[in-house]
Chain A
């Protein structure tokens, strides 16, 4: 029996969709603000596809439905609505929009409005108990990470040092993300949610030199984590 390539494969993705965070519920002010933003040299907003995030909204006098209408009037195409409170779900049913219910992230206000696509650069050692998250981008690592730490990137991880602890690339589903490290001694490695845990001796076969980790597509369409030792270079040899 020959293996047949699947016609439909379901995968995670992170597409360039804007998230419009509405903090105050006043529809007319909102209409004006969105229009102003488009005029002030941000034409990408016109006809953009956006997810409307109502989770940080303070005042609740104006219904979610009116806000959706106000945003639509400016030309932005609303793909879905994020709400934090299940009671608002009823108000949105007539709009025929997908409603996503999710807890508001604690640090939502600290997130930049536009993703910074330059790679993050980690120069201090990542210690046990610490977590570093390169949101929406790659990370270049110039200091070792310790056992018990967590290094997470939505993109790829390039480490010019030892990686210990947990190392997760493509955290929001990017299956083409990879991990390259000059020495890998991790407890857990994951790419796009496909993970492997390692006991002390498991990584021995890869030697102490540089290692790459990525996802490879099997014949049946499934994804498998592949670890490979990179050709030893005299410049990358450890002591």
Chain B
């Protein structure tokens, strides 16, 4: 059965697209047939991050409007045949996404036997972001260890709880996972940024992954390679752990060392 996973955050620039690319690649590497869909209509980026921008002929909006078949628009990843990319339109605006159209595309992806549909959400809480989470079974909520990103993530969790199809139909709620990116353990320990435990306490959903801040991320983006493929780098290993945990494996959190000293939260509120 196909699972729909939305990667979302509320705030921009926290690493949704980077996480979507690595998450989808990671699932594909583990043999799951995965389609990753860019919902950021008008500001398409996912194809760049995955290094397939030159092969995008038709996009998501073309399929919804009936100008192209889904099979024509899906771009197969060069590195892994289990991964397919459906790019966003660069020319249309976000109003081109209609619920019936998105549903029809997802139904077709289900019929094609995909195990996972990963929805890369745009920032904000308007049309595109709502459409990305509409059909979700699970959600990866991406945040940085800073208060504004955490507040926006909290707001987004509230929207998932009220605006998703599962919430409206009273089905089992969307399963929510926390992904903390750009984490610098040293600074968290010094109280300069929120610790991962603080973020988790504020948002109250289980941590799926803590991705350390890394120079590799920028290099990978520029080269069009998902971070998870940057062998040996801590960020790549953290993303690999994240995918493994998502698929049910137990793995302890890495790259968070030095938890013993008091966190910002404890200092502020006397833990």
Contacts and interface: CB of A to CB of B under 8 A. Distances in A.
Given A127-B161, A208-B271, A148 B204 contact: no
Interface of A: 124-130, 143-144, 146-149, 162, 164, 185, 200-201, 203-204, 207-208, 238
Residues of B in contact with A, size category: 10 to 19
11 contacts: A124-B173, A126-B158, A127-B155, A127-B157, A127-B161, A128-B155, A146-B203, A147-B151, A164-B202, A208-B269, A238-B271
B268 interface: yes
Contact of A147 (B154, B161, B269): B154
B154 A146 contact: yes
A147 B157 CA distance: 13
A235 B159 CA distance: 33
| The 10 residue pairs across chains A and B that have the minimum distance between CB atoms | A127-B158, A128-B154, A128-B155, A130-B158, A146-B154, A129-B155, A125-B204, A127-B154, A127-B157, A204-B270
Contacts of B257: none
Contacts of A127: 154-155, 157-158, 161
Interface of B: 151, 154-155, 157-159, 161-162, 173, 201-204, 268-271
A117 to B, nearest CB: 25
A8 B157 CA distance: 49
B157 A185 contact: no
A124 B154 CA distance: 13
Contacts of B159: 129
Contact of B162 (A130, A162, A201): A130
A146 B204 CA distance: 9
A129 B203 CA distance: 13
B86 to A, nearest CB: 30
Contacts of A185: 269
A24 to B, nearest CB: 32
B138 to A, nearest CB: 16
A201 B270 CA distance: 9
A203 B161 contact: no
Contacts of A126: 158
Given A203-B269, A204-B269, A143 B204 contact: yes
A203 B159 CA distance: 29
Given A124-B161, A127-B161, A200 B154 contact: no
A148 B155 contact: yes
A19 B269 CA distance: 46
A200 B269 contact: yes
B158 A128 contact: yes
Given A130-B162, A146-B202, A207 B155 contact: no
Nearest to B10: A128
A226 B222 CA distance: 58
Contacts of B151: 128, 147-148
A200 B161 CA distance: 28
Contacts of B158: 126-130, 146, 149
Nearest to B151: A128
Contacts of B204: 125, 143-144
* Most B-side CB within 10 Å, residue of A125, A126, A144, A207: A125
Nearest to A161: B204
Contacts of B155: 127-129, 148
Contacts of B271: 208, 238
Nearest to A144: B204
B130 to A, nearest CB: 14
* Most A-side CB within 10 Å, residue of B158, B173, B203, B270: B158
Nearest to A126: B158
A200 B266 CA distance: 12
B148 to A, nearest CB: 11
Nearest to A147: B151
A215 B2 CA distance: 54
A208 B201 CA distance: 13
Contacts of A148: 151, 154-155
* Most B-side CB within 10 Å, residue of A126, A129, A148: A129
Contacts of A147: 151, 154, 202
A164 B147 CA distance: 14
A130 B154 CA distance: 10
* Most A-side CB within 10 Å, residue of B154, B159, B203, B270: B154
Nearest to B270: A204
A238 B265 CA distance: 13
Contacts of B154: 127-128, 146-148
A200 B268 contact: yes
Nearest to A200: B268
A162 B203 CA distance: 11
B153 to A, nearest CB: 9
B195 to A, nearest CB: 12
